[in-house]
Amino acid sequence: MTACGGGLRGLNDATFRAPGLRIVGSAAGRRQSPVDCGDLPFLIRRDGTWLYRGSPIGRKELVCLFASVLKRAEDGSYWLETPAERGRIEVEDVPFVAVELDWSGSGREQRLSFRTNIDEVVTADAEHPIRVAHDLLTCHPTPYLLVRPGTEGPGIEARIGRAVYYELAALAEPGWIGCRRALGVWSCRRFFPLGDLPPQYGTEEHGTGERGENEGRSGPACHQD
């Protein structure tokens, strides 16, 4: 029997009920590259639900276990990888969801910490930035947090849940990103933009908007005659 037949691909109902489950590789597997098992029957939905063969994995302990061996390849694909074997899985958007926000301090010294749906706590900083993507048709914003920076390719992100995003927006203040006036949040002396501000917002009565360590020159100095 191959490693794939008895490992990641050989999971069954009993596996999902077993207490104290661990993902380990064989001794032989640790001395060589993991066996490529191809596509595995896992799907991570946009809401963070993990499915195996079309059925939700109900045990959070098990979800956290699989998440601990989740990797991302240079081409952006997602893999479950143990010392003995590896297999590609499908992810609808990103694997995790930020479900809780905790903050301390204020201004440039503010710290924003997020808890994900697998209870991983990540503080937004230079290595774990916040970004906001916009739908090409509706311009609807979707915020993300980089949870695990990539070593050779793209990292693994968490989508910031709607309720958490509303909390984040309540902490936002004006600032500059290069030549752009933006509304954003501070964390660990970094300014993360959530959206652009209209030109009329760039007056003194609306605040100066301190520049962060990740910002370029202030707005007026950027304009060329």
What is the 3-class SS of 51-120, one letter each residue?
Answer: EECCEECCCHHHHHHHHCCEEECCCCCEEEECCCEEEEEEECCCCEEEEEEEEECCHHHCEEEEEECCCC
CA distance 163 to 166: 5
| Ranges in the chain, pLDDT < 50 | 1-2, 18-21, 26-29, 203-209, 216-225
Reported as a single tens digit per residue, the pLDDT across 31-84 is 578 899 999 999 999 999 999 999 999 999 999 999 999 999 999 999 999 999
Per CATH, 3-91 and 96-222 having the same topology is answered: no
Going by C-alpha positions, the residue among 78, 82, 50 that lies closest to residue 69 is 82
Q: Is residue 64 within 8 Å of residue 58, measured between CB atoms?
A: no
CA distance 156 to 79: 11
Contacts of 104 (CB under 8 A, 6+ apart): 110, 111
- CATH top-level class of 96-222: mainly beta
- CATH architecture of the domain with range 3-91: Roll (3.10)
Per-residue pLDDT at 137: 85
Per-residue pLDDT at 221: 45
CA distance 160 to 211: 24
Q: What is the residue extent of each domain of the chain? A: 3-91, 96-222
Query: CB neighbours (10 Å) of residue 225?
Result: 2
CA distance 214 to 185: 12
CA distance 123 to 103: 9
Per-residue pLDDT at 97: 98
Query: CB neighbours (10 Å) of residue 175?
Result: 24
Per-residue pLDDT at 30: 52
Per-residue pLDDT at 16: 52
Going by C-alpha positions, the residue among 170, 46, 189, 184 that lies closest to residue 101 is 170
Per-residue pLDDT at 27: 43
Instruction: Tell me how far CA of residue 137 lies from CA of 134, 140, 141, 222, in angstroms.
Output: 9, 8, 11, 30
